[in-house]
Structure 1
Amino acid sequence: MRVAIVTESFLPTLNGVTTSVCRVADHLLDGGHQVLIVCPSPAPTSYRGARVHTVPGVTLRDFRVGVPFPDLSKVLADFRPDVVHAASPFALGARGIAAARDLGVPTVAVFQTDMATYLSQHAGTASSAVERVVWHWLRRVHSLADLTLAPSATCAADLERHGIPRVAPWGRGVDTDLFRPRGAADTATHELRRSLAPQGQTVVGYVGRLAPEKEVHRLAEIADLPDVALVVVGDGPSRAKLERLLPRARFLGYRQGAELARAYAAFDVFVHTGTCETFGQTLQEAMASGLPVVAPARGGPLDVIRAGVHGHHFDPDRPGALQEAVCGVLADPLGCRRMGAAGRQDALQRGWAPVVDQLLTYYGRVTHPAYDRRVAI
C-alpha cells in the first residue's frame, strides 16, 4: 500500500504527534509499504529511506506550524497514494485532506491534539469564543475525511458531541523493550535513582511538556510530602515559573530514548496532571516501566488507567484530591507493587505492531470500493 502521511509535526520536533508518526512509518516500512511524509520545515529529507517533503513553517508558542501550500495536490498526485493519513490535522493536515478529496484519494484523519482547549487556554477573556471557532474549524476539517480516529472513548464521545462524523477508536502503542521496570535497568538507572533519592526517599515523578495546558502546577499539592523526592522531566515555556513554585523539586529537563526510560525506571510512582489529554502516552510509558499511576479522572486517562488496578484517579476539581491519591498509593507498598506489575502486564499488550495492524485495517476499509462514507461508523 502507498501511504502519504501529512503531519502537523515531525522531526526534529519531538512530541506525541511526531512519535506516533515515526512509529506508524516504522511499521509500515517494515511491512513493505511505501510511505511519503509531508511536514513543516525544517525536517530531514528522508526517514528510513522514505521521502520527506517539507513545506514552509512558522513557530507559534514553541510549536512549528506548517503553512498550507497550493503545490500539495501535485506532491500527492506524483506519489499516487492509496490513502492519505492526516496526523492531528489543523492547518497543513486540513489542506492535505482537501487535496486528497480533489484527487479522489481516501483519507483517514487521526485526532490527537485538543486544539480547541489548547488555544482557548491562551486566549484569556476570549477563551469561550476561541473554543467555539476552533471546534467549528475542526468540524469542517474532519467532516471532509473519510474516517476520523479517536485515541480514547472519552475523546470519541467529545468529537461526536461536537458534530464530527465517522469516528472510530484507535489507540497508541508503547515500546515495552525501551520502557522497562527498574529491576531490568542498567547501572546508569540505579545511579540516577541514588542521586534523586540519596536518603532513600520515595521518588514521585512527572514527565511531559512544561506548559500551561499541562497543569503541572498541580504538583504543588505533593511538593512538601515527607520522605518524598519530587522529580520533573520535561521542558517548555512554564519551566522557570514551575521551578519557583516547586523549589524542592528536581528538574531534569528534556529527555528522550534511553535517558527518558532511565528516568521512568528511577521513579516509584508516576503522576500525570493535565485534564485535556486526548490519550496520555506518558501514562503508557509509566505503566510499561512498572509504575503505579495517579492521573485526573478526566479525558484520556479514564481509558488508559483502571482505578485500583493500575493506580488511582483523582478529582481535578477538588483541591487536595491529588495529594490524597498519591498518599493513598504510598501508604500501601504491597498495593503499589501490585499496581505497577499490573500496569506492566497491560502495557505488554499495547505494542505498536498490533496498533499499526489495526490502522491498516482502517486504511483497507476506506479504500474498499464498497465503503460509503454516508453510512460509515
Structure 2
Amino acid sequence: MRILIATDAWHPQINGVVRTLTMTAAAARPFGVDIRFLTPESFRTVALPGYPGIRVALPEPTRIAALIAEANPDSIHIATEGPIGLLVRRYCRKHARPFTTSFHTRFPDYISARAPIPEAWIWAALRWFHSASRAVMAATPALADELRHRGFRNVVLWPRGVDIGLFHPRETDLRLPRPIFLSVGRIAVEKNLDAFLSLDLPGTKVVVGDGPARAALERTYPDAVFLGAQAGEQLAATYAAADVFVFPSRTDTFGLVLLEALASGVPVAAFPAAGPRDVIGDTPVGVLDEDLRSASLAALKIAPEACLEFAASRTWEKSARAFVTNIVEACAAETRAASSHIANPRFVA
C-alpha cells in the first residue's frame, strides 16, 4: 500500500507534527506500507510573519497535480491546513479522490493570541477544511470528543508513540544545581512558558527550544537556562538529566514531549488541560494541578520506574498501525458507499 501525506510542516522545523509524520512512516515500512510525502521542499517558500524560522510553501496547482501523479498513491492523507493542504484538498475534490486528514494544531487558540480574529471564525474554517475528509484523525479521546462537539464528522483516533530506543535513562550531568525542572518545545506565546519560568522552584529551570518569544523570556528570566533547539542524542541526554518535566501549555493537542520525558524516566508536572489529561490521566507518572508549582514539587517524589513502564507501551508501531487502519477502513467505507450508489436504482442516471 502506498500512502501520500501532504504536509506544510516539514524539516528543518522541529515540532510534534514533523516528528509524528516521520516516525509513522518509518514504523509503517516493516508491515508493507510505503508512506511518501508532499512537502514544502518542492516549492518556493517565504518566512512566516512572526516566525522567521518557519517557512511557508507557495505551491502551484499544476505542480501539486504533477507530484501526486508521480507518487501514484493508493490513498492521500492531508496532515495540515496550510497552502499545500488546501491545494491538495482542492485537487482531491476536483478529481473525486477520497482523502483523510488529521487535526494536529489548535489554530483558534494560537491565532487569537496574536490577532483580533474571533475563534468561531477559525473553527468554521477548520470545519470546512475537514468536512470532506473520510476520516479526521485526532490524537486523543478528549480532542476527538471536542471536534465532534464542534461539528466535525468522521472523527477517529490516531494515538502517538515514543522512540524508546532514543529516549531512555542514561548518565548525564548538565552541571547545574539540582533539581532540574525542564521544558522542551517551541518558545512562543501559546506555549505559556511564563507560567513555568515565573515559578519559585529550587534548583534550575531549563528550557530547550527556540522561537519568537525566546529573547524576551531570556531577558525577563535571567536565572533560567536556555539551551536552544536540540534533537537526537543531544535532546535525549538533556531529558535524562532532568528531575521533572514541566509542561505549561494549555493548548497542545497532545504533546509528544510528554512521552519523550516519561521514556527518559522523568515524571511530568502540568496543568490539568486536555492534552496532559489524555496522555497521563490518573496514572502515577505525573501530577496535574492548577498550581503548577505544587505539581512540580510533588512530581519530584514519583519513581522513574513508573514512568518507564508507562512509556514502554506507547510505541510508534502501534501508532502507525492505527494510522494505516484508519485509512484502510475509510477506503472500505468509500467502496461500500460507491457500491451502494451503483446498486440502488434511485441513483442511476
Q: TM (normalized to structure 1)?
A: 0.83
How far off is 1:274 after superposition?
0.6
The equivalences for 1:40-119 within 5 A come to 40=40, 43=41, 54-60=42-48, 61-62=50-51, 63-71=54-62, 72-119=64-111
2:217 is equivalent to residue 217 of structure 1: no
Shift of 1:106: 2.6
One-letter amino acid of the structure 2 residue matched with residue 353 of structure 1 = E
Alpha-carbon distance in structure 1 between the residues aligned to 2:264 and 2:6 = 31
Match of 2:261 among 286, 302, 309: 286
**Contact persistence 1:90–1:141 (CA under 8 A):** no
In 2, Cα distance between equivalents of 1:300 and 1:68: 32
Q: Distance in 1 between matches of 2:295 and 2:282?
A: 11
CA, structure 1 residues 237+97, in 2 after alignment: closer, same or farther (shift >3 Å)? same
Rounded to whole Å, the distance in 2 between the matches of 1:74 and 1:235 is 35
CA–CA distance in 2 between the matches of 1:153 and 1:142? Answer: 18
Aligned residue for 1:302?
Answer: 277
Deviation at 1:329, TM superposition (A): 2.9
Matches of 1:143 and 1:211, distance apart in 2: 30
What stretches of structure 1 of length at least 5 have no aligned partner? 44-53, 316-320
Which consecutive unaligned segments of at least 5 residues does structure 2 have?
339-349
Give how far 1:66 is off: 2.3
Q: Secondary structure at the match of 2:100?
A: strand
Instruction: Please list the CA deviations of residues 217-245 of structure 1 after superposition, one character each: whole Å capped at 9, or x if unmatched.
Output: 012342x423x211111111111111122
Query: What secondary structure sits across from 1:84 in the alignment?
Result: strand
SS in 2 for 1:112: coil
Structure 2 residue corresponding to 1:345, chosen from 290, 306, 309: 309
Contact 1:88 1:110 in 2 (8 A): yes
> What is the deviation of 1:293?
0.4
User: Which residue, 203, 222, 231 being the options, matches 2:180?
Assistant: 203
User: What SS class does the counterpart of residue 205 from structure 1 fall into?
Assistant: strand
Give the SS at the match of 2:61.
coil
Aligned to 1:225, what secondary structure does the other structure show? coil
Deviation at 1:68, TM superposition (A): 4.2
Q: Distance in 2 between matches of 1:327 and 1:34?
A: 45
Q: In structure 2, give the amino acid aligned to 1:278.
A: T
Answer whether contact 2:197 2:224 (CA < 8 A) is retained: no
For 2:142 and 2:299, locate their aligned partners in 1 and report how far apart those are by CA, in whole Å: 25
Contact 1:77–1:103 (Cα < 8 Å) also in 2: no
Secondary structure of residue in 1 paired with 2:69? helix
* 1:135 aligned residue (118, 123, 126): 123
Note if contact 2:135-2:327 (Cα within 8 Å) is conserved in structure 1.
no
Measure the CA separation in 1 of the matches of 2:254 and 2:92: 27
Percent identical pairs in the alignment equals 34
Q: What's the offset of the Cα at 1:90?
A: 3.3
Give secondary structure in 2 for the equivalent of 1:5: strand
* SS at structure 1 position matched to 2:166: coil
Task: Give the C-alpha shift of residue 370 in structure 1.
Answer: 4.0
Maintained 8 Å contact 1:89/1:110: no
Q: Deviations over 1:16-73 (max 9, x none)?
A: 1111111122123344433331111xx3xxxxxxxxxx12322213222223421223
Would you say the 8 A contact 1:83–1:107 is kept in 2?
yes
Give the alignment of 1:246-325 within 5 angstroms.
Answer: 246-307=221-282, 309-315=284-290, 321-325=291-295
Q: Which moved more, 1:100-109 or 1:212-221?
A: 100-109
Q: Which residue of 2 aligns with 1:357?
A: 321
Say which SS state the counterpart of residue 274 (structure 2) adopts: coil
Q: 1:120 aligns with which of 87, 104, 112?
A: 112
- Contact 1:58/1:66 (8 A) holds in 2: yes
Equivalent in the alignment of 2:21: 21
Partner residue, 1:242 = 217
| Displacement after TM superposition at 1:310 (Å) | 1.2
Q: Aligned pair count?
A: 334
* Secondary structure class of the residue paired with 1:144: coil
| Contact 1:296–1:314, Cα closer than 8 Å, also in 2 | yes
Q: How does the TM-score come out when normalised to structure 2?
A: 0.90
Instruction: Kindly indicate whether structure 1 or structure 2 has the higher relative contact order, using CA contacts under 8 Å at least 6 residues apart.
Output: 2
Q: Partner residue of 1:50?
A: none
Q: RMSD in angstroms over aligned alpha carbons?
A: 2.0
Q: 277-286 vs 342-351, which deviates more?
A: 342-351
Q: Specify the alignment match of 2:155 in structure 1.
A: 167
Match of 1:49 in 2: none
**1:251 to partner: Cα distance:** 1.2
8 Å contact kept, 1:90–1:138: no
Partners of 1:133 and 1:55 in 2: CA distance = 29
Q: Distance in 1 between matches of 2:201 and 2:70?
A: 60
Q: Distance in 2 between matches of 1:210 and 1:26?
A: 28
The answer to whether the 8 Å contact 1:232/1:249 transfers is yes
Amino acid at match of 2:296: V
Task: Tell me the distance in 2 between the aligned counterparts of 1:293 and 1:165.
Answer: 33
- Whole-angstrom distance in 2 between the partners of 1:341 and 1:140: 45
More displaced stretch, 9-18 vs 288-297: 9-18
Shift of 1:78: 3.7
Residue equivalent to 1:3 = 3
